[in-house]
Amino acid sequence: MDIRVSSLWRYPVKSMAGASMPSLAVNDWGPNLDRRWMVIDSQKRFITQRQLPSMCRLSASLTDAGIRIQSLDDQGLFVEVPQPSLGSQYDVVVWSDNCAAVDAGDEVAIWLSDILGKSLRLCFMADNTHRQVDTQFAELGTRVSFADGFPFLLCSEASLGVLSSVLGRGLEVQRFRPNIVVTGSEPFAEDGWRRIRINNIEFELVKPCARCAIPTVNLDTAAREADVFKMLRAERSNNGEVYFGQNLIHDGSGELAVGQRVEILE
């Protein structure tokens, strides 16, 4: 079976629209500069499409100086944000983790608050910050950015095709926010993989990804579609949770590229 990487995705700001990449540099963080920025509320807790579905209508892309956040509904509405090296530092909350962050400044805070209708700020995880992956699944010293819990998420085109067929309309893979999408495998074969290799970088598949309401968000309108989660619950439930995709921990660094072969090691 010839399994290949069909697309790669990077999300500079947690829960905003990502960018499809022809290649993706991998370092000790995982995908380089993936989810190193995050939106927080006045209590310094992370904010995502779970609370504000309209975040899907903001696109974040890297620039030489930092990032550019742009409205997908108004191409003339954007803000340039330099990567902060100095500034206000504080602890932020991501699920059960408290970790250090650097504030990105008032300009983008006002911009985001106006667009999203809630008092918000943007923060950045500096290079010297270490957020530990849950040691139930990873060795001590394995780091992760502001991602929910793991450096990589993998999804399969074949598996998504089955879900789309059951639903009766196409589901965009972006709803599930993977970094790596593969083609050429049997549907849901990834549920049985334990270790894979892509371009000499090995990945351990440590945990199926438990899904929340984010995949129900229509990426064009930001409206929630209840039938999507109803379908996922019917098709992908296990022990009271809904699962789709696999969380990965990598061993090594290098570059992933679309078209590279996926070797199943275990």
* pTM of the complete model beyond 0.85: yes
153 and 177 assigned to the same domain: yes
DSSP 186: P
Cβ contact 216:222 at 8 Å: no
Ranges in the chain, pLDDT < 70: none
194 and 244 assigned to the same domain: yes
14 within domain boundaries: no
60 and 160 assigned to the same domain: no
Structure-token pair, residue 29:
């963080």
Listed residues 124, 143, 165: the one ending a domain: 124
DSSP 132: B
Residue located via tokens 């608050």: 113
What confidence score (pLDDT) does residue 72 get?
97
Cβ contact 96:108 at 8 Å: no
The C-alpha angle 60, 65, 68, rounded to 5 degrees, equals: 20
117 and 150 assigned to the same domain: no
What confidence score (pLDDT) does residue 174 get?
97
Collapsed DSSP state (helix, strand, coil) of residue 261: strand
Of residues 198, 190, 192, 159, the one with CA closest to residue 176: 159
247 within domain boundaries: yes
21 within domain boundaries: no
159 and 101 assigned to the same domain: no
- pLDDT per position as a tens digit, 72-93: 999 899 999 999 987 789 999 9
179 within domain boundaries: yes
| In the chain, beta strands by DSSP E | 4-10, 19-21, 23-27, 30-31, 37-40, 58-62, 66-71, 78-82, 89-94, 97-103, 121-124, 152-156, 180-183, 195-198, 201-210, 237-238, 241-251, 254-257, 262-264
Instruction: Give the pairing type, strands 58-62 and 66-71.
Output: antiparallel
Structure-token pair, residue 50:
């779970």
Collapsed DSSP state (helix, strand, coil) of residue 163: helix
- Indicate the number of domains in the chain: 2
113 and 56 assigned to the same domain: yes
148 and 115 assigned to the same domain: no
18 within domain boundaries: no
Q: What span, in angstroms and rounded, lies between the C-alpha atoms of 91 and 44?
A: 7
Listed residues 124, 156, 173: the one ending a domain: 124
120 and 139 assigned to the same domain: no
What confidence score (pLDDT) does residue 220 get?
97
C-alpha dist (Å) from residue 260 to 26, 177, 199, 237: 14, 20, 7, 31
What confidence score (pLDDT) does residue 86 get?
72
Listed residues 98, 124, 150: the one ending a domain: 124
79 and 143 assigned to the same domain: no
Cβ contact 177:18 at 8 Å: yes
224 and 204 assigned to the same domain: yes
76 and 138 assigned to the same domain: no
154 within domain boundaries: yes
76 and 167 assigned to the same domain: no
182 within domain boundaries: yes
The C-alpha angle 257, 10, 104, rounded to 5 degrees, equals: 145
Domain containing residue 67: 31-124
